[in-house]
Chains A and B, each alone.
Chain A
């Protein structure tokens, strides 16, 4: 059974750093991309970035380029999304999702809620 399990809820202050994770299981992790999708409170879905663990190819949405960094550790089938300096506007639910080549997002993680507040 394919599963993407994300790390837990985070509460941070503005200016802090953060790294959240997404661990895949039940499939060959390097063979699929892992995308990150933001959902701000009460809003829609926004694609942020994607990493292909097989060759470490990374694409960012222009809206998020320079704001976040994605990475992956194939040895533990885990992808990461990180911020160096959080802002209150980063408060959102963050989902990871699997992508088969250049197809669509067929499996999703349960989401990680990030709250940034002083």
Chain B
């Protein structure tokens, strides 16, 4: 099973700041990684797929990068609605797996 390790567990930032979230895979997964956002009481939402492609309707302030085992989600300037939990997920091998999540909270 491919293990995805997200860091940090919690990121405390202010609106307008840049957020950088990390996801590390236990083995190479090419670019077969997605990022999801989950706000309290809501379902997850697909943000980025295949490491760097924004899903439909996702603002340009969200960007993804990386390949192999190291991936990054960057939010260039945090908006109030961006404070949430972010999960990475791989589709390279069965079973599909998620990372443990990074909570982006208001400082």
Contacts and interface: CB of A to CB of B under 8 A. Distances in A.
Interface of A: 35, 37, 44-47, 50, 59-63, 95, 97, 102-106, 108-111
Chain B CB within 10 Å — which of A35, A62, A104, A108 has the most? A104
19 contacts: A37-B44, A44-B99, A44-B100, A45-B36, A45-B38, A45-B98, A47-B96, A47-B97, A47-B98, A62-B1, A95-B43, A95-B44, A103-B49, A104-B46, A104-B91, A105-B36, A105-B44, A106-B46, A108-B43
Interface residues of B, number: 21
B91 A103 contact: yes
Given A44-B87, A44-B99, A103-B49, A59 B44 contact: no
- Majority SS at the chain A contact face: strand
Given A44-B100, A45-B87, A47-B95, A104 B34 contact: yes
B89 interface: yes
Contact of A111 (B43, B91, B97): B43
Contact of A62 (B34, B36, B95): B95
A111 to B, nearest CB: 6
A37 B95 CA distance: 12
B98 A46 contact: yes
Given A47-B89, A62-B95, 8 more contacts: A35-B96, A37-B44, A45-B44, A45-B87, A50-B96, A103-B91, A104-B89, A105-B44
B55 A59 contact: no
A106 B99 CA distance: 17
Interface in B1-60: 1, 34, 36, 38, 43-46, 49, 55
